[in-house]
């Protein structure tokens, strides 16, 4: 009950930020790290027994000492004495048959207070017609958010169970911000929403409700071009990373922005699907027109995707890439086949280089979700979201490109151009000189021929792949059956994307032995079906790669399908399968190398003696298409 809160509680605990406790406004010393871990996890499950085994895993993960149970008893006894020194008449920590529990109420624990305020705010916000109720809901949401003092329990995040609990609290915080933002938009108060959602949307780029609110707030604030760019970016990310289309609610917001319907944009229910999409051609003409209307670019903020959780390996490549950019190279390229981790490496390096580029960092994809190349005008429209001012808009798409190049030529900015498909689309965006640097990723080596430096990523080493698997499912599980773990990463072709998908699937299927899952991956007919979890599937980027090939390239790749999996092939074998002479077969193989589908030898060797490599998962996909 909200009415039960007051100032009478002498001891209060905090989880919505660093772990803390205070008595009569004075902080308490909660003791050593392991003792704080015990208290933090008990508070994450208030008034609920937590087993000794769970607390042991919280504190020591996979390597508890023989004295773990006795040590836990010491930590609990010490905390009891500490709390008794504040309130001797209260039993805070209790032992039950199910384990230990901590007794707290809403006035004593900020997470309980937060949840109570959220419930009350949502009840008030449910009255769609009462403006006073919306104002009351906004005040309750604001009070709930005021309880936060930073990322929850960040200092204890080395414990996976505590980290998972903190992530759940973080998700509740994002949801609360969304509730607050929705109420503010109903009250026609978009400006604080725009400011509040900017960083949050960068941290959660695929959260559709958050992005819909951001889009609507920008529209209500009169920033229509930026709203359209937000939608365009999200639509591409959803398709590319999850294989999904925007939700009906998000589409409704987008149509409201397109038709400039402010009242529809504020509506809590999406308008019916209409012909608002009519006239939007496949080549992004509407975005191109937005580029011509966009103000000239001005200083921007850092806009980089988050690095995937559990990023591991690539230490040497990462150091080399960062050092190369710092050496003053203006254009650095990262190449390799699908799933090799080009984008992840480039983004991680860009985060490391943040202090080297005071004018900002921008990330943009150069291909549409269907694999076709975006026009420079489309790309400039997206870049303009973060680099706009109130100056007069350029008169044409060419003027917009010229304005962008002029601006970039005077800024020390890092631009990450992802998934380049042709040289022209890259060159059109870059000035001839200036202090900016560009990191370019591409599957096709020839696209990067003009780069000052090029890094061709190899697959993971077996140890790097096993480290990634262990980072997701736990090292104990990997160590229990190392042969099966190695078989899994080998079946994944040592590709970071495939290993990551397999690891996350196993983290959900905790009951499945590694040996059983490894056996599933031995069947090439079901391999790609197994490398999928929820909406994330390895087949999606492989299909994107296939769609980006022209018809002769697809035919040549399909003809190589009968080759033995994971075995290098020769020109003689390719010629036999293609039914061509050596000269024509060599031409087809080299076209596939240029497209980034076939990997050529590293050492110099004659074309007839060379042993070419078809990446395993690309090979399996080609067999499927046949």
Q: Quick one: which of 247, 249, 252, 197 has its CA closest to 226?
A: 197
Average pLDDT over residues 120-125: 88
Q: Quick one: which of 181, 177, 251, 169 has its CA closest to 221?
A: 181
Residue identified by tokens 């420079």 is 376
Note the pLDDT of residue 257: 85
Contact indicator for 128, 116 with CB cutoff of 8 Å: no
pLDDT of 309 > 90? The answer is no
pLDDT of 557 > 90? The answer is yes
Interatomic CA distance for residues 18 and 28, integer angstroms: 13
pLDDT of 272 > 70? The answer is no
pLDDT of 451 > 80? The answer is no
Note the pLDDT of residue 456: 86
Average pLDDT over residues 110-131: 85
Give per-residue pLDDT as tens, 171-187. 889 989 999 999 999 99
pLDDT of 388 > 80? The answer is no
* Residue 82: pLDDT band with limits 50, 70, 90: very high
Note the pLDDT of residue 371: 67
* Choice among 36-45, 306-315, 528-537 with the minimum mean pLDDT: 306-315
The more confidently predicted of residues 110 and 608 is: 110
Residue 623 gets the label, from left (phi > 0), alpha (psi -120 to 50) or beta, of alpha
Residues of the chain above pLDDT 70, percent = 86
33: part of which helix (H) or strand (E)?
A: helix 33-44
Interatomic CA distance for residues 119 and 244, integer angstroms: 31
DSSP classification of residue 19: -
Residue 194 gets the label, from left (phi > 0), alpha (psi -120 to 50) or beta, of alpha
Interatomic CA distance for residues 295 and 513, integer angstroms: 57
Note the pLDDT of residue 447: 63
What is the torsional sign of CA 211, 310, 530, 339? positive
Note the pLDDT of residue 311: 66
Angstrom distances, CA of residue 37 to CA of 56, 147, 251, 462, 483: 10, 21, 44, 34, 34
Note the pLDDT of residue 363: 92
Interatomic CA distance for residues 451 and 332, integer angstroms: 6
Count CB-CB contacts under 10 A for residue 609: 9
Interatomic CA distance for residues 588 and 606, integer angstroms: 16
Q: If DSSP codes are grouped into helix, strand and coil, which group holds residue 439?
A: strand
Note the pLDDT of residue 351: 87
Question: Virtual CA dihedral for 317, 323, 326, 332, nearest 10 degrees?
Answer: -40
pLDDT of 21 > 90? The answer is yes
Note the pLDDT of residue 128: 57
pTM comes to: 0.52
Contact indicator for 528, 546 with CB cutoff of 8 Å: no
pLDDT of 14 > 80? The answer is yes
pLDDT of 249 > 90? The answer is no
Interatomic CA distance for residues 505 and 497, integer angstroms: 12
pLDDT of 8 > 80? The answer is no
For the chain, the first-to-last Cα distance in angstroms comes to: 64
Interatomic CA distance for residues 12 and 16, integer angstroms: 12
Note the pLDDT of residue 359: 84
* Residue 387: pLDDT band with limits 50, 70, 90: low
The burial class, CB within 10 Å (0-12 / 13-18 / 19+), for 185 is buried
What lies within 8 Å, CB to CB, of 161 at 6+ separation is 41, 54, 57, 58
Contact indicator for 578, 572 with CB cutoff of 8 Å: no
Contact indicator for 281, 289 with CB cutoff of 8 Å: no
DSSP for 50-86 reads B-HHHHHHHHHTT---TTHHHHHHHHHHHHHHHHHTT
What is the torsional sign of CA 491, 493, 496, 497? negative
The more confidently predicted of residues 434 and 20 is: 20
* Choice among 148-152, 370-374, 489-493 with the minimum mean pLDDT: 370-374
Average pLDDT over residues 188-213: 88
* Residue 610: pLDDT band with limits 50, 70, 90: confident
DSSP for 366-380 reads SB-TTSPBPPHHHHH
Residue 41 gets the label, from left (phi > 0), alpha (psi -120 to 50) or beta, of alpha
Note the pLDDT of residue 39: 96
DSSP classification of residue 576: H
Contact indicator for 460, 313 with CB cutoff of 8 Å: yes
Note the pLDDT of residue 394: 60
Note the pLDDT of residue 113: 94
* Residue 624: pLDDT band with limits 50, 70, 90: confident
Exposure string of 53-92, with b = 16+ CB inside 10 Å and e = fewer, is: eebbbbbbeeeeeeebeebbeebbebbeebbeebeeeeeb
* Residue 75: pLDDT band with limits 50, 70, 90: very high
DSSP for 100-129 reads EEE---TTTBHHHHHHHHHHHHHHHHT-TT
pLDDT of 469 > 50? The answer is yes
Per DSSP (E only), the strands in 474-616 are 532-533, 536-537
Average pLDDT over residues 67-85: 92
pLDDT of 282 > 60? The answer is no
Note the pLDDT of residue 262: 47
């Amino acid at each position: 009950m909200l009415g039960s809160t007051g100032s009478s509680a002498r001891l209060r605990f905090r989880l919505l930020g660093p772990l803390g406790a205070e008595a009569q406004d004075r902080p308490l010393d909660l003791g050593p790290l392991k003792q704080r871990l015990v208290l933090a996890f008990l508070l994450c499950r208030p008034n609920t027994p937590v087993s000794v085994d769970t607390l042991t895993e919280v504190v020591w993960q996979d390597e508890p000492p023989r004295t773990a149970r006795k040590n836990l008893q010491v930590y609990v006894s010490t905390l009891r004495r500490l709390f008794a020194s504040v309130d001797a008449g209260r039993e805070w920590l209790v032992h039950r048959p199910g384990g230990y529990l901590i007794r707290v109420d809403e006035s004593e624990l900020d997470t309980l207070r937060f949840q109570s305020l959220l419930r009350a705010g949502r009840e008030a916000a449910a009255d769609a017609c009462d403006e006073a109720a919306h104002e009351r809901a906004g005040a309750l949401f604001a009070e709930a958010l005021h309880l936060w003092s930073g990322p929850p329990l960040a200092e204890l995040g080395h414990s996976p169970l505590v980290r998972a609990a903190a992530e759940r609290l973080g998700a509740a915080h994002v949801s609360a911000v969304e509730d607050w933002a929705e109420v503010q938009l109903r009250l026609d108060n978009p400006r604080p929403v725009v400011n509040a959602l900017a960083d949050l949307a960068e941290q959660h780029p695929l959260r559709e409700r958050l992005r819909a609110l951001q889009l609507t707030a920008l529209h209500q604030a009169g920033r229509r071009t930026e709203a359209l760019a937000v939608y365009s970016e999200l639509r591409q990310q959803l398709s590319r990373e999850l294989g999904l289309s925007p939700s009906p609610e998000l589409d409704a917001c987008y149509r409201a922005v397109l038709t400039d319907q402010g009242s529809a944009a504020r509506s809590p229910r999406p308008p019916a699907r209409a012909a608002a999409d009519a006239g939007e051609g496949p080549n992004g003409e509407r975005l191109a027109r937005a580029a011509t209307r966009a103000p000239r670019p001005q200083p921007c903020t850092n806009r980089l995707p988050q690095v995937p959780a559990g990023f591991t390996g690539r230490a040497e490549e990462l150091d080399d890439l960062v050092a190369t950019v710092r050496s003053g190279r203006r254009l650095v390229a990262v190449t390799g086949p699908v799933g090799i981790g080009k984008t992840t490496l480039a983004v991680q390096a860009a985060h490391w280089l943040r202090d080297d580029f005071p004018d900002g960092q921008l990330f943009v994809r150069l291909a549409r979700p269907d694999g076709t190349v975006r026009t420079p005008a489309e790309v400039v429209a997206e870049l303009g979201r973060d680099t706009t001012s109130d100056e007069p808009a350029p008169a044409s798409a060419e003027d917009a490109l010229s304005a962008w190049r002029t601006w970039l030529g005077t800024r020390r900015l890092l631009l990450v151009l992802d998934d380049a498909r042709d040289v022209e689309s890259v060159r059109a965006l870059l000035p001839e000189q200036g202090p900016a640097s560009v990191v370019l990723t591409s599957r096709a080596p020839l696209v990067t021929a003009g780069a000052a430096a090029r890094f061709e990523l190899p697959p993971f080493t077996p140890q790097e792949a096993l480290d990634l698997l262990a980072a997701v499912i736990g090292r104990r599980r990997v160590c229990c059956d190392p042969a099966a773990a190695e078989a899994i990463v080998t079946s994944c072709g040592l590709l970071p994307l495939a290993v990551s998908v397999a690891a996350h699937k196993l983290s959900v299927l905790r009951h499945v032995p590694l040996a059983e899952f490894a056996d599933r991956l031995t069947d090439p007919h079901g391999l790609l079906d197994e490398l999928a979890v929820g909406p994330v599937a390895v087949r999606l980027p492989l299909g994107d790669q296939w769609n980006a090939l022209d018809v002769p390239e697809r035919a040549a790749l399909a003809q190589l399908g009968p080759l033995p999996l994971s075995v290098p092939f020769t020109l003689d074998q390719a010629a036999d399968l293609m039914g061509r002479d050596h000269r024509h077969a060599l031409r087809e193989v080299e076209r596939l190398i240029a497209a980034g589908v076939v990997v050529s030898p590293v050492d110099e060797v004659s074309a007839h003696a060379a042993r070419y490599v078809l990446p395993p998962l690309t090979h399996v996909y080609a067999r499927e298409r046949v």
